[in-house]
Amino acid sequence: MKNRIVLLIFIFTFIITAVKTTPINAKDTEVLIKVGLAIGEKEAVFLSDAPMTIAEGNKVILKGRKLQIACINGTAKVNDITFKKKISITPAMGSLIRYNGKPYRGSFEVIPKGNGLTIINLVSIEEYLYGVLKAEISPSWPFEALKAQAVVSRTYALNNIGRHSSQGFDLCAGNHCQGYKGLSSEDPILNKAVDATKGEVLTYNGTLAKVFYHSDSGGCTTSSKYVWGRDIPYLKGRKEEFYASCNSPYKHWKLELPSSKLVEILSENGIEIEDIKDLAITKRDNLSFRALTIRIIGSKRSIEIPATRVRQMIGYSLLRSTAFDILKKKANEKREGKAKPSNLYPPKLSKEERRARARSINIKELLAKGYSYDDIILILAEAYGILERDVAPQNEQPQEEISFEAKDGESIFIFEGRGWGHGVGMSQWGAKTLAEKGKSYTEILQFYFPGTEIKRRW
């Protein structure tokens, strides 16, 4: 256990030197993206109002308005025709395809793998963004903030193409990449924001910029070096002097966590400490705003772990950022205000997830083996819960104060926090506030990514 705890010490002592860059070519054509909608599906149904064309390679298998595909023992069957390789499904000109009842732009690929089907939607990046933005930002926000999000989401997508290449597609449709639900999640105002910035991306020194974003900084962004271990020139921490005008629902929040609940959470994640006496923030970022490391003090031993790891273990919807202070009280001790009982719970983990979170991570060894900055980001996301895009669920009604039941006399640790997310790059609520103050999307992006340029790729 001692070795495991040592291996959980964060990456702040390491410097990541390998960064993948993508050159900008003024003659680029619009990119086609393969979006993985499902893996391991036993059955899939495709519908269209005009005959679809189904082909295996260059060979047309059949045409039809309804296709029902099933996978049995690694072989797929579509309308009584079997195939073992990838097939393509192309709509008739001007038509859409409905997959499992939902409409999608573009075409499809279906790959039989093992005992299931991998379902892939092929769309242009602009059409992909149509289906992404509503999961990222509200269409009721100022148009300049929507345009800023469109540029950031486009840059993010291009930077991450091929992220799931081992599975046969570029990006997944879930929160691991960017939430994508096809035509059913589109909004006309958000589509206009995509169209108004068509082809525009953020660049730095002629290459795609590494862009990160989050819901609400809490008033200060932070440097990338405190989250991913590398100091990137345009991802510096800075104070949002305008934050007093921000009306974010995550501006202030409080989480009251009994010591017994914290012991349970730590144990679930492979860290055994009995009788927690205290918590102490041992390191903060250069603005003294975000916690970087936390010491958990037990009756028999103490450990120090990354604040991002603590947030992952407790749950993102409970511990919404690492911009917090920690207080302590007894269960029967009164304090100003009363936190509401929580309807949210720390995540329960499978055996595989426990192993992933407790595994050994040595950044120097990863670098020596040739892992890129992007590879290391993915590894840290799985093990320590560090997300590139760290946004709150849309249409959520968040509780400002949350508590859990505690025993009489038990210690309760109070996290008094600000904002939602890792704090690197663009704050969405900050972008909204700047737009409300009359700033253009270019000014918003320059504030959050200073030194970058907007280039149009197509």
- Please answer whether residues 246 and 429 qualify as being in contact, where contact means their C-beta atoms are separated by less than 8 angstroms: yes
Judge whether residue 15 has pLDDT over 50.
no
Same domain, 277 and 172: no
Question: Beta partners for 283?
Answer: 293
> Where is 314: in which H helix or E strand?
helix 307-314
- In this structure, the answer to whether residues 348 and 380 fall within a common structural domain is yes
For 346, the token pair is 């720390």
Instruction: Let me know whether 40 and 156 are in one domain.
Output: yes
Distance CA 75, CA 113 (A): 8
| Lowest-confidence pick of 11-25, 32-46, 140-154, 175-189 | 11-25
- Say yes or no: 270 and 301 in one domain: yes
Q: Could you tell me if residue 403 is inside a domain?
A: yes
| Burial classification of residue 138, based on how many CB atoms lie within 10 Å of its CB (0-12 exposed, 13-18 middle, 19 or more buried) | middle
Based on the domain organization, do 9 and 49 belong to the same domain? Answer: no
> Mean pLDDT over all residues of the chain?
86
Q: What is the percent of the chain where pLDDT is above 70?
A: 81
Q: Examine residue 440 and state whether it is found in any structural domain, yes or no.
A: no
Instruction: Calculate mean pLDDT across residues 252-271.
Output: 92
Query: Region 325-345: what's the mean pLDDT?
Result: 64
Which of the residue ranges 25-34, 328-337, 398-407 has the most confident prediction, judged by mean pLDDT?
A: 398-407
1-5, 266-270, 330-334: least confident range:
1-5
User: Which among 349, 342, 343 has a CA at the least distance from the CA of 256?
Assistant: 342
Domain that holds residue 259: 2-19+247-417
Concatenate the DSSP letters of all residues of 9-26 into one string.
S-GGG---------B--T
pLDDT tens for residues 195-237? 999 999 999 999 999 999 999 999 999 999 888 778 899 999 9
- Closest listed residue to residue 106, CA positions, set 80, 85, 124: 124
Tell whether the model's pLDDT for residue 323 goes beyond 50.
Answer: yes
Neighbour-count burial for 30-43, b at 16+ CB within 10 Å, e otherwise: ebebbbbbbbebee
Same domain, 268 and 308: yes
Task: Say if 235 falls within a structural domain.
Answer: no
User: Does residue 271 lie within any of the structural domains?
Assistant: yes
Claim to verify: residue 7 and residue 36 sit in the same structural domain? no
> How far is it, in rounded angstroms, from Cα 215 to Cα 420?
5
Buried b (16+ CB within 10 A) or exposed e, 409-430: eebbbbbebbbbbbbbbbbbbb
Average pLDDT over residues 260-282: 91
Report d(CA 226, CA 323) in Å as an integer.
Answer: 13
Counting DSSP H helices and E strands in the chain, the numbers are 13, 25
Asked if 303 and 186 sit in the same domain, the reply is no
Give yes or no for a contact between 71 and 60, defined as CB atoms under 8 angstroms apart: no
Residues 6+ apart with CB under 8 A from 6: none
Residue 335 and residue 284 share a domain: yes
For position 174, what pLDDT does the model report? Answer: 86
Q: How confident is the model at residue 372 (pLDDT cuts 50, 70, 90)?
A: low
How much is the pLDDT for 309?
86
Predicted confidence at residue 343, as pLDDT, reads 46
Between CA 393 and CA 137 the distance in angstroms is 10
Q: Dihedral angle at the C-alpha atoms of 371, 375, 381, 386, nearest 10 degrees?
A: 90
Mean pLDDT of 136-142: 95
Residue 373: its pLDDT value, please?
Answer: 55
The secondary element (H helix, E strand) that includes residue 153 is helix 143-159
More confident residue, 60 or 390: 60
Same domain, 40 and 171: yes
Evaluate if residue 425 carries a pLDDT over 50: yes
Residue/partner pairs of 79-84 with CB below 8 Å, 24 or more apart: 83/56, 83/112, 84/112
Q: Is residue 116 part of a domain?
A: yes
Structure-model confidence comparison of residues 284 and 364, the more confident one: 284
Count of CB atoms situated within 10 Å of the CB of 190: 25
* Per-residue pLDDT at 361: 56
Count of the separate structural domains present in the chain: 2
A 10 A CB-CB count for 27 gives 6
Q: Are 178 and 171 in contact (CB under 8 A)?
A: yes
Question: Which helix H or strand E contains 324, and what residues bound it?
Answer: strand 324-330
198, 228, 257: which is the final residue of a domain?
A: 198
Q: Is the pLDDT of residue 377 over 70?
A: no
Residue 357 lies in a domain: yes
Q: Who wins on pLDDT, 362 or 419?
A: 419
